[in-house]
A and B are shown apart, each in its own frame.
Chain A
Amino acid sequence: MYVAVKGGEAAIANAHRLLADRRRGDRSVPALRVDQIVEQLALGIDRVMAEGSLYDRELAALAVVQSRGDLIEAIFLVRAYRTTLPRFGYTRPIDTAAMQVERRVSATYKDLPGGQLLGPTFDYTHRLLDPQLAGDPEVVEPEQREADGQRMTRVSEILAHEGLIEADGELPEDHLTGDITREPLEFPLARDSRLQALSRGDEGFLLALGYSTQRGYGRSHPFVGEVRIGEVELELDVPELPFPITLGRIRVTECQMVNQFKGSAKAPPQFTRGYGLVFGQSERKAMAMSLCDRALRAGELGEDVTAPAQDEEFVISHSDNVQATGFVEHLKLPHYVDFQAELDLVRRMRSEHEKRNQTNETERREAAE
């Protein structure tokens, strides 16, 4: 005998209790501390901050613990917290030339003012598992030198002297910086809104799209003009004060992709640019973002839009992993009312189909006789 299932509430509570248990795991193993995660899983934290659009290492680490290491879930936790925070202003644009640079490489020049700085990179490591790390081996202190306080010229500025590369471009005087977290997206987007969306976009999705442009789906002949990682100051204009005040420093990764461009009806032959900027240290994301940014400028530069990576509505509408995971996973929710409606329709169409076949069969037989 069927009796309507009750007790969803108790089931949910029990499921969450079990989840809490599984999250903690074996109680005889010490619990992870937030500071351990901040210090030792820093790049995971950077991703959570970047795609969560909230620069707070401790909160990101807390989210990682709470989500059992599921980074998209952690990003979601951070976003749901961030959205409740009041806005008290917008900072001045950061000056990445004044960055306290820890890493900076250019692929377009052998050497350049400021030099090539490898910094803390996985590049050129041999990907051999290191069994020693299972313990806690002594780690030698790194070589360091005093910061010289010099501005490090951006590659785009070097090329700009010859007029071979497009300038940063100007926005209209009265342009208010977009805020995709406060206004609904409206296509086509202004480039500032588009860059915001890309900056919080899913790393994997942008990586795949950037990769697709390299394989010929919207090819843009890219060179890494430079990628730099380091800390920049955040400054805020306060109405009562005649000077900006410094709020603090954040670590960012910036990528300037330089792309060959043969010219079109809209623009002369020159090097064009794609731009990537993300919180924390993430070259992969910043590079993928700059490839996508360049691809998405197809319309602006008068190129044919032929590939997915060039299609703004397609890219931006699907780049947010919190939206994507929610909608994909919502398929788990009950849909039996709609399924019932479809079931009913298929049954009716099926019986008509069979009736038709039967009639045809009888007619065929009668004709044969």
Chain B
Amino acid sequence: MSEIATYNFAYLDEQTKRMIRRAILKGIAIPGYQVPFASREMPMPYGWGTGGVQVTAAIIGPDDVLKVIDQGADDTTNAVSIRAFFRKVADVAVTTETAKATIIQTRHRIPEHPLTAGQTLVYQVPIPEPLRFLEPRETETRKMHALEEYGLMHVKLYEDIARHGRIATTYAYPVKVEGRYVMDPSPTPKFDNPKMHMSPALQLFGAGREKRIYAVPPFTRVVSLDFEDHPFEIQTFDQPCALCGAEQVYLDEVILDDKGGHMFVCSDTDHCEKRQACGHRGHLAPAALEPAQ
């Protein structure tokens, strides 16, 4: 039997980390450009955040504080699993508080609390190519990016308007980065797109299965594609969070019974808890919960 396997700090060997860091640096140098990298098999399945995990593993150090969210929540099972992975292989401090984290790995959301300089947001990306569903071939889409040929995307958005009266893309809404590359923001709701624009935080995107890394450096222009007569707009909700009363945040619909009863609560669990701790109350907040608990 082979010797019992042992693993390096943060799982990946140092050679691999160097390779990934080179890809990250190239990505930062060319904002929005998808850098091919030799993605490794990770001990979690492809499609479950292997790209994000590799990026995090390549940049994390012993002094970092890590936060992991999935759907905006720290306690969804895959977020729990990835956080546990890094606690195990890198022995780093973990947190659920957005403001205290130095690295935030995320799937499908950008935290509501504004990010600050020095923080890094690591996105897990399933399909990094914004043009993929218009053109399935990688050989073609790479050419289209090289020639800055994004007409197909505009035609798609225009057809949406012609057919549905509006752009019918609600998440993974394409953006243009620093006036050059059209980029997939990962399947975050378009509600989060404006947070990417001129963010003081570094934003890194890892797609493990598709073997691509890309980046948005701090203070970079990120513009959601639209038309003059059909400007980009984000989702709005008719009611505030039922637990903390927050408005202008992204809400999840929670089904209460089988008779159509439902409530809306913050998708960002940390944000919601923070607000409740400060005494904010929504109309369905548990009365027993004391403020400043």
Contact = CB atoms under 8 A, between A and B. Distances in A.
B257 to A, nearest CB: 10
Contacts of B253: 340, 343
B42 interface: yes
A177 interface: no
Contact of B46 (A188, A323, A342): A323
A269 B48 CA distance: 49
A322 B2 CA distance: 23
Given A76-B45, A184-B37, A185-B211, A337 B77 contact: no
B126 A183 contact: no
B168 interface: yes
Interface string A186-207: 1110000000000000000000
Interface stretch (B68-76, B197-205, B224-232): B68-76
A84 B5 contact: yes
Given A58-B2, A337-B108, A337-B109, A1 B284 contact: yes
B36 A82 contact: no
B7 A84 contact: yes
Interface string A329-346: 110011111101111110
Interface of B: 1-2, 5, 7-8, 11-13, 15, 36-43, 45-48, 50, 70-73, 75-81, 84, 107-109, 126, 137-139, 164-165, 168, 170-172, 187-191, 209, 211-212, 235, 242-243, 250-254, 256, 263, 265, 267, 269, 272, 284, 286
Contacts of B12: 84
A8 B83 CA distance: 11
A234 interface: no
Interface in A1-31: 1-9, 11-12
B284 A326 contact: no
B75 A181 contact: no
Given A323-B46, A323-B209, A2 B256 contact: yes
A67 B56 CA distance: 28
Nearest to A338: B171
B191 A326 contact: no
Contact of A83 (B40, B171, B263): B40
Interface string A301-320: 00000000000010001000
Query: Closest 9 interchain pairs by CB?
Result: A326-B46, A330-B47, A326-B45, A341-B170, A184-B36, A327-B47, A8-B80, A83-B41, A79-B41
A182 to B, nearest CB: 5
B2 to A, nearest CB: 6
B84 A336 contact: no
30 contacts: A1-B284, A2-B284, A4-B272, A8-B77, A9-B84, A12-B84, A58-B2, A59-B2, A62-B1, A81-B5, A84-B13, A181-B38, A184-B37, A184-B39, A323-B47, A327-B46, A329-B45, A333-B70, A333-B78, A334-B70, A337-B72, A337-B108, A337-B171, A338-B170, A338-B187, A340-B189, A341-B189, A341-B191, A342-B170, A349-B164
A366 to B, nearest CB: 25
A175 B256 CA distance: 63
A131 to B, nearest CB: 34
Interface residues of A, number: 56
Q: Does more than half of chain B's interface fall in helix, strand or loop, or is it mixed? A: loop
Interface in A38-77: 56, 58-59, 62, 76
A34 interface: yes
Nearest to A180: B38
Interface in A156-197: 181-188
Given A326-B48, A326-B50, 4 more contacts: A8-B77, A84-B12, A327-B209, A345-B170
A260 to B, nearest CB: 30
A135 interface: no
A358 interface: no
A86 B2 CA distance: 15
B75 A182 contact: no
Contacts of B187: 335, 338
A188 B139 CA distance: 8
A180 B40 CA distance: 10
A62 B77 CA distance: 27
B108 A335 contact: yes
Given A340-B253, A342-B170, A186 B36 contact: yes
B243 to A, nearest CB: 8
Interface string A130-144: 000000000000000
Given A326-B46, A330-B48, A7 B75 contact: yes
Given A11-B77, A340-B189, A341-B189, A326 B43 contact: no
Contacts of B79: 8
Contacts of B254: 2
Contact of B189 (A6, A188, A338): A338
A328 B37 CA distance: 22
Nearest to B19: A182
Nearest to A4: B269
Nearest to B287: A1
User: Max chain B CB contacts within 10 Å: which of A4, A6, A185, A343?
Assistant: A4
Contacts of A6: 75
A333 B2 CA distance: 34
B195 to A, nearest CB: 14
A327 B126 contact: yes
A181 B235 CA distance: 42
A329 B75 contact: no
A3 B76 CA distance: 14
Given A2-B263, A80-B42, A337-B109, A187 B139 contact: yes
